[in-house]
Amino acid sequence: MIVLQIGQCGIQIGQQLFNIFEQENKSKDTLQHPLSTFRQTIIDTERKTWRKHQRAGQKQKFPTTYIDNGTSGRGNNWAHGYWEISQLESILDTLRRETEASDAYDGCLMIHSVAGGTGSGLGSRVAEEMRDAYPKNYLTTCAVLPFVDGDTALQHYNSLLSLGWAQRYSDMAAIFSNDAVMNTVSRQAGLATHGSKAAPIKLDSLNEYIAHCIAGLVLPVTPVRDVGGRLEYDAKPVPCDLWNAISELTPVPACKMVNFSSSATPTSATSAGSRPPTGVLRPAQPANWDDVRTAISRNMAPVPSGIKRRCIAGRMQARGVIGGDYWKKASVFETRLLNRLGIVNAGDHFHTHISSLYAVDLKSPARALDLCYNGSDSARMLDDVTAKAQAMFDERAYLHWYERYGGAEVLDSFDECFESLRGAADAYEEVLGGSGII
């Protein structure tokens, strides 16, 4: 799997993700299989972001390619990122070499934000080109949404266009709202300090939590199966089957925006000397499964008052399941979780996967639950993004900044993305039963 990190946000989360991978790789000299199947490609238009990581860390253990695409950024403008293609051929040639260097290229995981210019605009262009070049390999995007209070004046336009491209060209889009993640990490920090005043939440904590959510989906697994009441353990870890996850989570092709919850707690969300809350990713001793289940339930994004969450599909990954403790209350917890998710047809569209190892470390005491769900959270997000962008578009606010790079063609891009995202929202409403989900 190639992990493609585009723009400042993508690089920051991507490096947190590969830190998690390195923690699991206990060999100092070699990469353990199947962690060795991961490769990372970094693309940025401001060299300072990657140079900061180069200075801060040691030599990269995983195959790493950095594509320098300039020093001036993309001005928080999707059109600048999308149509400034002076280095596009170099980028695509580098990605081609990376796919050829993979033992068996299965697909690409792209991490980016949707608010700025590089992650949204250049990310959209790269996604389009990757889909054209590799139509039979998966393309999953991990899109970070801006804070509601505002990151940039153009964030509503950029979000509309970036998500419109993700809807068109990706097989699945993992959605991470900065506001929802901040809410989760703030609650974790409050638990760690036992209600006393906590230090301000840093962006690193949000990035680390997002990285844990992604890791829960893509890390290797060592499957455990219940065969007629008898547990069968596979002997060795195998790579994650992301095609399987995509097929389970997106049974309706038009509905591909997926949300996440993890039992993990970022290390930076706990104060020095305090005992971290239960359900952390890597405790000194194995966490009680009841605490892990409490953590993943607590970390789910809240829904608006008076609204019940409804979902098309869900997928839960349990890691570190050795012995019988996990199974004692598994069915009771799943029943409660299904009720909270409101899955339309849970018998066919909720899947639980069990791994005896957390990843590849035989001695790791880590236990974790990671949940992906596809439903009304995404429908509300699509409705919100299109409404805010439409209000600006009707007033022609800032459109000249986009026309500067895309000319009249950019207006067609807006129309296509409005239509695409409204079509996706309508599909969610139709599948989930209409009124009450927004």
Say if residues 145 and 175 touch (Cβ distance below 8 Å).
Answer: yes
Q: Taking the CB of residue 406, how many other CB atoms lie within 10 A of it?
A: 19
User: In the structure encoding, which two tokens stand for residue 293, read together?
Assistant: 């289940």
**Full strand arrangement of the beta sheet holding 311-319:** 64-68, 39-44, 2-6, 107-113, 138-145, 172-177, 257-262, 368-375, 311-319, 350-355
- Which DSSP string corresponds to 290-311? HHHHHHHHHTSPP--TT----E
Per-residue model confidence (pLDDT) at position 152: 85
What's 120's DSSP letter?
Answer: I
List the alpha helices (DSSP H) in 151-281.
155-169, 178-192, 203-218, 242-249
Distance, CA of 80 to CA of 73 (rounded, Å) = 9
What's 221's DSSP letter?
Answer: B
Say if residues 186 and 138 touch (Cβ distance below 8 Å).
Answer: no
Which residue from 254, 250, 277, 247 is spatially nearest to 265, judged by alpha carbons?
277
Distance, CA of 377 to CA of 175 (rounded, Å) = 10
Say if residues 188 and 265 touch (Cβ distance below 8 Å).
Answer: yes
User: In the structure encoding, which two tokens stand for residue 417, read together?
Assistant: 């993305």
User: In the structure encoding, which two tokens stand for residue 86, read together?
Assistant: 């002076």
User: In the structure encoding, which two tokens stand for residue 62, read together?
Assistant: 């995983």
Residue 232, SS3? strand
Helix (H) or strand (E) holding 100: helix 88-101
Distance, CA of 351 to CA of 204 (rounded, Å) = 31
Distance, CA of 20 to CA of 215 (rounded, Å) = 7
User: In the structure encoding, which two tokens stand for residue 383, read together?
Assistant: 């409705």
Q: Taking the CB of residue 290, how many other CB atoms lie within 10 A of it?
A: 14
Query: Which bin fits 351, alpha (ψ -120 to 50), beta or left (φ > 0)?
Result: beta
Residue 401, SS3? helix
Q: Positive or negative, the Cα torsion across 167, 168, 173, 176? A: negative
Per-residue model confidence (pLDDT) at position 329: 94
Show pLDDT as tens, one digit a residue, over the chain (438 residues): 999 999 999 999 999 999 999 999 888 788 999 999 999 999 987 766 666 666 455 677 899 999 876 655 556 999 999 998 778 898 999 999 999 998 889 999 999 999 988 999 999 999 999 999 999 999 999 999 999 987 689 999 999 999 999 999 999 999 999 999 999 999 888 776 555 566 788 999 999 999 999 999 999 999 998 787 788 888 899 999 999 999 999 999 999 999 999 999 887 655 443 444 444 344 444 579 999 999 999 999 999 988 999 999 999 999 999 888 999 999 999 999 999 999 988 889 999 999 999 999 888 889 999 999 999 999 999 999 999 999 999 999 999 999 999 999 999 999 999 999 999 999 999 999 864 555
Per-residue model confidence (pLDDT) at position 87: 82
What angle separates helix 123-133 from helix 88-101, to the nearest 10 degrees?
50
- What does residue 371 show for φ and ψ, rounded to 5 degrees? -120, 135
Distance, CA of 128 to CA of 168 (rounded, Å) = 9
Per-residue model confidence (pLDDT) at position 231: 84
